[in-house]
Structure 1
Amino acid sequence: MSEETWAGVRERVLRLAGRPGADKVFGAQGHGFRLGPVMDEEQLRALEADLGVGLPGQYRSFLLHVGGGGAGPDYGLMTPTLGSSGWQWLGAGLAFSAQPTTAEFAGRSFVAEELQKELDAIEAQQPASDDYASEDEFRCAHAAWDARYEELYDAQEAGAVYLGEQGCGYASLMVMTGPHRGAIWEDLRPADRGIEPTGHDFGPWYRSWLERTERQLQS
């Protein structure tokens, strides 16, 4: 998506704050229809240097022409922010933010699907106390199993950015590396459903939210 595709989008989002019923839109209490400042090329190149890959095109254009973060689906978009340890996505201006993501972590390989298969296999191998001669042996085996499970669980997030909080532990992620680069996935692990694709890239995902919200506030 180019500059033309995002033309007028920042103004449309900011106008929503003054519409009757705006405070009733889901997530509005988290972002208030506020957008952070747009980013410039120098900032984006520095972010990409930490990331190790170029930003997905639709998202990069959004950062240049709409805003660094703020108003968006659910409780709003996280913002790329430069700190003492490098670039990371933080919930600047959001009342309910997703977990932070460092650029280094987001630049790793995204292999959530492969890891889910391994997690499913490991889950089926959870130690049972009846299989061990003593309680100590069982505790040691279960601790090793749990450590491996948590390692794989956390590794599923690599290669993606936590872009927004949906509530109740669910979140929206944007894949930054590999064949799914630029796609929006959902972290549905609180419902034991893993990290799943939405079928949308960033641009259509964001514009769909904007158009849906505009229709809601016109009714």
Structure 2
Amino acid sequence: MTESPLTEAEVAEAERELEVSFPEDYRAYLREVSAGGALFRLERTDRGWWWAGNYEGRRELLGMPFPHPDSYAEAEAELLAREPQAGPFEGDEARSAWDDEAERFEDLKTAGAIVIQEHGCGFSSLLALTGPLSGTVWWDGRATCDRIVPLSLDHADGARPVRFREWLDHGSWALLPPNWG
């Protein structure tokens, strides 16, 4: 059974509950396609509105602005410089505390964003929902290169991140029914 796209009332209810305003192109996608596309679906669950395929524990980070990867490079280098070196005692308190800090730091890299599509092997596409980068799509390549990079239609250095609608329009997969847009 194919579910219907969300209604305007459902989209507005989700925004209120999640305390975010969706980018306009994403709102249009939710109202016109969301049940028929290949992206993770925003749905009402027994715990409220959330996206299929997204970790529920990230709810607290959704309202924070999505950070540009350049904004945390220095803090990341400082964190890595403080990583405890392997010693005679496996699992010591210093290592455990650092691991917790590093895990939280990794979570903050995607604050304000959702996974809109999973690509396997730890790779995904992210949609920034909050902050100055709201409405842009990013490649989460941390599985191999420890980086989150903007997806772009321009291959020049410093290219602007692609907007959600551009990403949909230039995708190499069948995301949308032929009558959308």
TM over 0.5: same fold? yes
Cα distance between partner residues in 2 of 1:163 and 1:154 = 16
Q: Give unpaired runs (5+ residues) of structure 1.
A: 1-33, 91-97, 215-219
With 192-201 and 175-184 compared, the bigger mean Cα shift is at: 192-201
Identity %: 27
Match of 1:83 in 2: 45
Give, as a single letter, the amino acid of the residue that structure 1 aligns with 2:85. Answer: A
2:49 paired with 1:99: no
Deviation at 1:77, TM superposition (A): 0.3
Deviation at 1:103, TM superposition (A): 5.5
Give, as a single letter, the amino acid of the residue that structure 2 aligns with 1:108. Answer: M
Give, as a single letter, the amino acid of the residue that structure 1 aligns with 2:110. Answer: E
Match of 1:148 in 2: 101
Which residue of 24, 30, 34 corresponds with 1:68? 34
Partner SS state of residue 66, structure 2:
coil
Cα distance between partner residues in 1 of 2:128 and 2:112 = 6
Deviation at 1:82, TM superposition (A): 0.8
Match of 2:144 in 1: 191
Match of 1:126 in 2: 83
Give, as a single letter, the amino acid of the residue that structure 1 aligns with 2:28. Answer: S
Contact kept, 8 Å, 2:54 with 2:114, in 1: the verdict is no
CA-based RMSD of the aligned residues comes to 2.7
Contact kept, 8 Å, 1:70 with 1:79, in 2: the verdict is no
2:123 paired with 1:170: yes
Deviation at 1:140, TM superposition (A): 2.2
Cα distance between partner residues in 2 of 1:103 and 1:143 = 24
With 172-181 and 190-199 compared, the bigger mean Cα shift is at: 190-199
Deviation at 1:196, TM superposition (A): 1.6
Cα distance between partner residues in 2 of 1:43 and 1:213 = 25
Would the alpha carbon gap of residues 103 and 60 (structure 1) be closer, same or farther in structure 2, given more than 3 Å must change? farther
Looking at secondary structure, tell me which structure has more helix per residue. Answer: 1
Would the alpha carbon gap of residues 126 and 146 (structure 1) be closer, same or farther in structure 2, given more than 3 Å must change? same
Cα distance between partner residues in 2 of 1:35 and 1:184 = 26
Aligned length: 164
Cα distance between partner residues in 1 of 2:13 and 2:54 = 22
Cα distance between partner residues in 2 of 1:106 and 1:155 = 10
Q: Give unpaired runs (5+ residues) of structure 2.
A: 152-160, 176-181
Give, as a single letter, the amino acid of the residue that structure 1 aligns with 2:54. Answer: Q
Match of 2:74 in 1: 117
Would the alpha carbon gap of residues 53 and 129 (structure 1) be closer, same or farther in structure 2, given more than 3 Å must change? closer
Structure showing greater radius of gyration is: 1
Match of 2:156 in 1: none
Cα distance between partner residues in 1 of 2:10 and 2:91 = 52
Q: Please give the TM-score of this superposition, normalised by the length of structure 1.
A: 0.65
Q: Please give the TM-score of this superposition, normalised by the length of structure 2.
A: 0.78
Partner SS state of residue 16, structure 2:
helix
Give, as a single letter, the amino acid of the residue that structure 2 aligns with 1:139. Answer: D
- Structure 1 consecutive aligned stretches of length 4 or more whose deviation exceeds 4 Å: 101-104
Match of 1:39 in 2: 6
Contact kept, 8 Å, 1:164 with 1:172, in 2: the verdict is yes
